[in-house]
Amino acid sequence: MAQVLAPGSIVVADWHRCNESKQYFSKILHRKRRRHFGLLEFPVMPPHVPVDTIHYKVFISGKSGVGKTALAARLAGLNIPNVHYETTGIETTVVYWPVKLRESGRVLFFRLQLWDCGENALRRFDHLLPSCKEQVDAVLFLFSFTDRTSFDDLSNQIAKWTDTTEDRVVKLVVGTKFDLFMHCDVAERDVKVFQKTWSLPVLHIGGEVSDGFGDVAPLLNCLTEQLWHQDCVTAGSANYHLVQETV
Ligand SMILES: Nc1nc2c(ncn2[C@@H]2O[C@H](COP(=O)(O)OP(=O)(O)O)[C@@H](O)[C@H]2O)c(=O)[nH]1
Ligand SMILES: [Mg+2]
């Protein structure tokens, strides 16, 4: 089972608050708000600041109404829809997130393509899940703090992603609607027990979308950290196999 990395062990935590990060974060802003990136758009740095961009596909999993579409919007800095309507098919959203690696001091742009698919559509059309799963790098398993059944169903959700071919997929659990604490249906100690049992990072999110990066930075840093770690593990084992073959 995957180990849980301590936050900030690979990427600099709270880097968005440092002065030196401003030139990178300004590229994902437009008039002080998050810039919306279409499929072919990307942040452009001046020529003397070369930055590599690495691409990942991230699937958002969870039952209807749990907050998948709202999470995708929040991570991209867009307004959250107030009224719930079931997402009719697959919607993708592109999020860029600059990260500084602790050890080397290297800066990278992560390009996260978020895949959000309505649960009813997934059930009705068999071809949707395979295309969501194809070459996926990470899955965010959502539960809502206001809906106990969504929390109890997490193990079923995760079990669907644990066959051998999906070993290398990064898995994160996200509790939504954390702001609605008056209606909270999931106790903190249950979340802790879950985290210990599954050895998966569990994050929470909720409330109004803020202008800054504060509400999304913990999640995006955790996700990018896990993705980078997974890549290093994969590259390490690939090198290991190469050495084995040439001996
Ligand atoms: N208060 C609050 N409402 C949320 C949050 N996330 C989602 N919602 C609301 O919950 C409803 C369902 O969210 P949506 O993202 O459409 O669910 P989906 O079916 O999983 O895509 C919408 O009315 C959202 O406004 C949150 O973090 N806090
Ligand atoms: Mg939706």
Ordered by start, the domain boundaries in the chain are 15-246
Q: Which ligand is nearest to the CA of 81?
A: 1
Q: Quickly state the pLDDT bin for 162 (edges 50, 70, 90).
A: confident
Contact residues for 149 (Cβ-Cβ < 8 A; gap 6+): 63
How does DSSP assign 159-206, residue by residue? Answer: HTT-SGGGTTSEEEEEEE-TT-GGG--S-HHHHHHHHHHHT--EEE--
Tens-digit pLDDT profile for residues 12-37: 999 999 999 999 999 999 988 899 99
Residue range 135-161: mean pLDDT, rounded: 94
Topology of 15-246 in CATH? Rossmann fold (3.40.50)
Atom 28 of ligand 1, nearest CA residue: 177
93 lines ligand 1 (CB under 6 A): no
Q: What's this model's pTM, rounded to 2 decimal places?
A: 0.92
Tell me the two tokens of residue 89: 């098919």
For residue 73, which atom of ligand 1 is closest to its CA? 15
Q: Quickly state the pLDDT bin for 164 (edges 50, 70, 90).
A: low
Tell me the two tokens of residue 137: 């790098």
Measure CA of the first residue to CA of the last residue in the chain; give whole Å: 30
Instruction: Please give the share of the chain, as a percent, with pLDDT higher than 70.
Output: 92
SS3 of residue 226 by DSSP: helix
Tens-digit pLDDT profile for residues 58-115: 999 999 999 999 999 999 998 887 888 888 889 999 999 999 999 999 999 999 999 9
Rounded to the nearest integer, the mean pLDDT of the chain is: 89
For residue 116, which atom of ligand 1 is closest to its CA? 21
